[in-house]
Amino acid sequence: MEAQLPPSGLPGLDPRFSRLATVPGRGIDAGRSRVWHHLDTGPHLSELGIMTAGTILAVHGNPTWSYLWRRIVSDSVRAAEAGRPAWRVVAVDQLDMGFSERTGLHRPLAQRVSDLAAFTEALALDGPVVTLGHDWGGVVSLGWAVDHAASLAGVMMLNTAIHHPEGVPIPAPLRLAGARGVLAASTVGTTAFLDTTLALASPALDPAVKDAYHAPYRTAARRGAIGGFVADIPVDSRHESFAELERISSAVARLDVPALMLWGPKDPIFSDRYLDDLVDRLPHADVHRFEGASHLVAEDRPYADAVLDWLDDNGARLSGLDTSSPRDAAAQPSASPDDAPFVPLWRGLDERRTDEAIAVIDMAPRGRDTPLRVSWRQLDDRVRRIASGLHRIGVRKGHRVSLLVQPGPTLTAVIYACLRIGAVVVVADAGLGVKGLTRAVRGSWPDFVIGEALGLTAARALGWPGVRISAARLPRASARALGVSYSLADLVERGTDAPIPAPPGPDDEAAILFTSGSTGPAKGVGYTHGQLSALRDTLAGHFDITADTGLVTGFAPFALLGPALGTHSVTPDMDVSAPRTLTATAVAAAVRASEGRIVFLSPAAILNVVATAEALTASDREALSRVRTFLSTGAPIGEQLLASASALMPNATPHTPYGMTECLLVTDVTLDEIRAAADAPDHGVCVGRPIGSNRVLVSALDAAGRATGEPSDEPGVLGEFVISAPHLKDHYDRLWLTDRQAERGTPSEAGRTIDGESPEPGDARWHRTGDVGHLDAEGRVWVEGRLPHVIVAADGPIAPVGAEQDVERVADVRRAAVVGVGPEGLRQAVAVVETTSTAKRPGLASPELARAIRSSTSLPLVAVLVVPQLPTDIRHNSKIDRSRLSTWAERTLSGGTTTAP
């Protein structure tokens, strides 16, 4: 069947770019020519007189066609017309696919790579060329890439795979489609395979778009290659395409050009397993996982915007102006231990390795009658043996180790063992819930998993990756059932008297910590060893922590810093994944057992500690009176709650630092400082001044609620906080776009001058926090909410926290949230409150309560609603989920369900 142009009227496809090209054949087509349909923006750009930087060669997979690339085709032209660097886009229909010629011949992988080479030669594409592939088009495009080094400038790929591990079955949907008796019927005889693929889109495709994908495949005669592609999947080494796939995958690992991977993690075919393999081969690649996207990531998310931004960012390298090696740039050399400008986290263990004093106390019973106490000598010995044991079983610098162990001495030892050998610890706590934890673990794709029985059971049931190591030695049958290869006891045995490998340097990645997920899916935050050491130094310096201080840590992120700080620490008897389980008596018992002088608690834990204070004995109160510093960490809290906690520790200075997973300590404020600021006219929560060398600037909000202003320290300006600190995170894990957004418009990114000083390479990095508020004339930071929670009203943006504070002063109001309803730009404010008398069901507030709340604030409120309990994030149980409340309030006020939000 001859090639043809697509019918007119396909949504999003501009017919001006459709072309037919006659191409001399190769291989099985030698001596004849084939006609290819393709999309090509080059002639249009030439007519406009626009010079191009190069060509994007886009290759679809199975069972799609060049229609998949319609957005990058049209968006690239609009970008060029707007003055951005212009890129010609050539998107092919592979032979026997789309509207290209139907040859009726079997075309294995090597032939398809040869086909594409013949096509580009016919079009005289001589570079610079950046390939873009999806599905099996990713393999074909990379095959072309490794064969055209002289023309290749970069590679880009959406969900694809170039290697499948031996002994692992191919994904179930492909096994089913390729099964004997099913292949022809599902791929050729019917549109079942095509329909199933299109159904993977998330959100679902518009019917007109689905029909456009069907357009070239209306009859069985036109669907032959759909079945051919499935049959050509090299399931093992006996398959005819196996050798070609191996050739391509090996050569890709030697590519030294810029690379971009955009991924849909919900893909049931090309899962994160294949992304991890590609990252191993191209460690310098920029990677972004679009959470919630599936196989058709080009339909699910704005991939074209990402592609154009990436091309802009890498323009110098792609054009050849910058000839430096992307691989070398990504593999930053580690400083040698002798010359390292930092003190590693484990130095405290080294210095106290013969000390018999207590280093760590675990108050949680877990079958014990008394607290577990571990000396510095015991901890150091265990760390060294586990570190050597990990190395003996193959854990190397850069390998990821996911930890599913409750805070306590075991987790402490494992973390420091990993850090000693340069393994990257992945910490996603159980507070994320099963779905959140699964998303975090699979997204980080660890090489090893160390867990307790419950965590390992989840890992087995939910298919989490990684070699599994049990915290406790399991019966042989249990270990086999859970897929456990080793226990920590096995590692200790292997590590006894074995050497520890050379330590990592300050620029090596040390940890991936996950955010709370309170404003979207939890993100992995990458830290280097140097940044973690800077966090330790900031904490020690600001709070004057010495070897004799002692820490009581009811807040998981700080529960592991005791050894790094060279002081003893204790974890109270609580479920750290549920902060509200901590009681006042448990805190007192931890203080008494450790003689700890600093107490770290989260806001949710403080709520329950205060609520259970009546159970304190005279001995408990005497122990708490010896605390000298008390910190509420995890989210800012108000004066009343901080004062209530302070009453339990009357000789302690109460602090409520402001920070985030990306930078755990930014500012700090004491209760006295909060009270001193009470008479200020400012709205929001005062979180004090930046700690040490930290800096905070504000990027002003525009009328649409976007933070577009140049970061400055001008007081009274409502905007997004932009921060800098020595311990600021290094990157988000496999979230290149999120990193780019967090850095875009910051002082170092823009090269601006701050306070008369021009940032130079190597100066402090900056980060957009997503928090909004303002600075006052004294340099204090006032937090007024999150950027997504800003209410964009007709008169401009409104931050919610100030009005919430007004409402919470009303009698019977325990907590309040102010959210927006209505169309964007014309939003109106609604107060949703949780009352001390606890409403039995959600709905409108009583007339009396509504009047009192409306009179408490100058912000006009169109409605006042009550709920039994405000929804909060699952980790801290303290950050109100305003986005969820906004959706619920709008639905309720429009006459929808009044079930709890």
Which whole number is the average pLDDT over 188-216? 96
Mean pLDDT (the chain) is: 90
What is the number of alpha carbons within 13 Å of residue 302 lying toward its C-beta? 8
> What's the pLDDT score for residue 750?
47
Q: Which of the two residues, 236 and 76, has the higher pLDDT score? A: 76
Calculate ∠ Cα 258-260-265, nearest 5°: 155
Write down the pLDDT at residue 745: 74
Indicate whether 542 pLDDT > 80: yes
- Mean pLDDT value across residues 94-120: 97
Given a cut of 90, whether residue 837 has pLDDT beyond it is: no
Locate the domains of the chain by residue range: 15-319, 347-528, 673-751+764-788, 791-893
pLDDT: is 326 or 330 the higher one?
Answer: 326
Whether pLDDT at 575 is above 90:
no
Tokens representing 778 are 């004294």
Name the more confident of 182 and 795: 795
> Using CA atoms, how far apart are residues 322 and 317, in angstroms rounded to an integer?
5
The pLDDT assigned to 559 comes to 67
Q: Has residue 838 got a pLDDT over 80?
A: no
**pLDDT at residue 104 tops 90:** yes
Split at pLDDT 50, 70, 90, the class of 516 is: confident
User: Please, which pLDDT band fits residue 371 given cuts at 50, 70 and 90?
Assistant: confident
The pair of structure tokens assigned to 197 is 């693929």
Q: What are residue 725's phi and psi, to 5 degrees? A: -160, 155
Q: Give residue 161's pLDDT band: very low, low, confident or very high (50, 70, 90).
A: very high
User: Residue 427 pLDDT more than 90?
Assistant: no
Task: Evaluate whether 347-528 and 791-893 have a shared fold.
Answer: no
Res 333: pLDDT: 53
| pLDDT tier at 753, thresholds 50, 70, 90 | very low
pLDDT tens string 480-507: 999 999 999 999 999 999 999 999 999 9
- CA quadruple 180, 183, 186, 190: dihedral positive or negative? negative
- CA-to-CA distance for 796 and 701, rounded, in angstroms? 9
> Does position 167 have pLDDT exceeding 80, yes or no?
no
Determine how many CB atoms are found less than 10 A away from the CB of residue 724.
24
Quick check: 759 pLDDT over 60?
A: no
State residue 815 phi and psi, 5-degree precision: -145, 155
CATH for 347-528? Answer: 3.40.50.12780
* Dihedral (CA of 394, 399, 402, 407) sign: positive
| H or E element, residue 203 | none
* CA 728 from centroid of its chain's CA atoms: 16
**What tens digit of pLDDT does each residue of 240-282 get?**
999 999 999 999 999 999 999 999 999 999 989 899 999 999 9
Which residues, at least 6 apart from 685, have a Cβ–Cβ distance to it below 8 Å? 636, 637, 638, 782, 783, 784, 801, 805
Is pLDDT at 873 greater than 60 in this prediction?
Answer: no
DSSP per residue, 740-776:
HHHHTTSHHHHT--BTTB---TTSPP-EEEEEEEEE-
Q: What is the pLDDT of residue 176?
A: 59
- pLDDT (0 to 100) of residue 749: 53
Q: Report pLDDT for 752.
A: 39
CA 648/CA 591 separation, integer angstroms: 12
Query: Residue written as tokens 């921060």?
Result: 723
Segment 815-840 shows an average pLDDT of 89
Angstrom distance (rounded) from CA 776 to CA 682: 8
How many CB atoms sit inside 10 A of residue 439's CB? 22
Residue 136 confidence (pLDDT) above 50: yes
pLDDT at residue number 815:
86
Distance CA 115, CA 107 (A): 9
Q: Residue 337: pLDDT band by 50, 70, 90 thresholds?
A: very low
Q: Between these two residues, 241 and 172, which has the higher pLDDT value?
A: 241
Higher pLDDT, residue 778 or 639:
778
Rounded distance between C-alpha atoms, residue 734 and residue 74, angstroms:
27
Q: Tell me the mean pLDDT in the region 690-714.
A: 95
What's the pLDDT score for residue 706?
A: 94
Can you tell me the distance from the alpha carbon of 156 to that of 676, in angstroms, rounded to the nearest whole number? 55
Please check whether residue 655 is in contact with residue 601, taking contact to mean a CB–CB distance below 8 angstroms. Answer: no
Percentage with pLDDT > 90 across the chain: 72
What is the per-residue pLDDT across 375-417, written as a single tens digit (0 to 9) for each?
Answer: 999 999 999 999 999 999 999 999 999 998 888 899 999 999 9
Q: Is the CATH code 3.40.50.1820 the one for domain 15-319? A: yes
Q: What digits encode the pLDDT tens for the residues 653-666?
A: 999 999 998 998 99
CATH topology of domain 791-893: GMP Synthetase; Chain A, domain 3 (3.30.300)
CATH class of 673-751+764-788: mainly beta
User: Region 847-854: what's the mean pLDDT?
Assistant: 93
Task: Say if residues 505 and 529 touch (Cβ distance below 8 Å).
Answer: yes
Task: Select from 423, 388, 384, 389 the least CA-distant residue to 403.
Answer: 423
438-483 tens-digit pLDDT: 888 888 899 999 999 988 998 888 888 999 999 999 999 999 999 9
pLDDT, one tens digit per residue, over 599-642 is 998 888 888 999 999 999 999 999 999 999 999 887 767 788 88
